[in-house]
Amino acid sequence: MLTFSLDKIALKPHSKVLDVGCGEGRHIFGSLHEYVDVHCIGLDQDIPSLNKCKEGFEFFKELNSGSTVFMQGSVYSLPFDDNTFDLVICSEVLEHLEDYHAAIDEIYRVLKPEGKFLPSVPSYWPEKICWSLSSGYQNMPGGHVRIFKKRQVINEISDHGFKYDYSERFHGLHSAYWWLRCLFWSTQDSNYFVRIYKKFLEYHILQSPAWLNYFEKILNPIFGKSIAFYFEKK
């Protein structure tokens, strides 16, 4: 379940890809599937997530002859030389950071000129509803510390030296799931409606029926839980 249309980004063989805040590696694995002979690095602070990346990589390593590394690190101090990467992905990370401007500066530093920067954040009004429904959601340790507006993201990242190309929304079926979780925050793990909707999403992710994919594409422009941006380093 990717939050970007990687097929819209043309990468040459042997390009270098960095996923900052890679989580369990979905965009690294998506890059291995989409591109030929790319060298990927997934960076995250969470050791259990990195361990799951390494486990999942066993299913993808034969797809691509490039190298893949998962490592612990901070977006505030990326352990790479200037102008190293052709593509940097930063999905659902900026909303967690106290100083996201410092993180964007670091990403700019390690990205090659004309390299692509793909950040995503929660869409404004679906996120606003989550905050309104549950104080627990907005006060989770390590949770979201701000709600971004689309124009804010475009303007502020452009101010760091990037050229904005376009944006699109994803995961239109997921907003309602998070609203349910927030509505039943204290009992979400056992709540009937949350559990049923979770099974519905699992069916969508694992089976990917064409009719449901089409339905989500219709929902995405309005109900998309995430908004993905496509920038280029000037």
Tens digit of each residue's pLDDT (9 = 90 or more) over 86-128 = 999 999 999 999 999 999 999 999 999 999 999 999 999 999 9
Residue type at 42?
A: G
Q: How many CB atoms lie within 10 A of CB 49?
A: 17
pTM value surpassing 0.75: yes
Determine the CATH number of domain 6-233: 3.40.50.150
Q: What is residue 59's predicted lDDT score, i.e. its pLDDT? A: 81
DSSP code per residue over 96-117: G-TTHHHHHHHHHHHEEEEEEE
The confidence score (pLDDT) of residue 104 equals 98
The domain segmentation of the chain, as residue ranges, is 6-233
Question: Does 211 have pLDDT greater than 80?
Answer: yes
pLDDT in tens, 38-87: 999 999 999 999 999 999 888 877 777 678 999 999 999 999 999 999 99
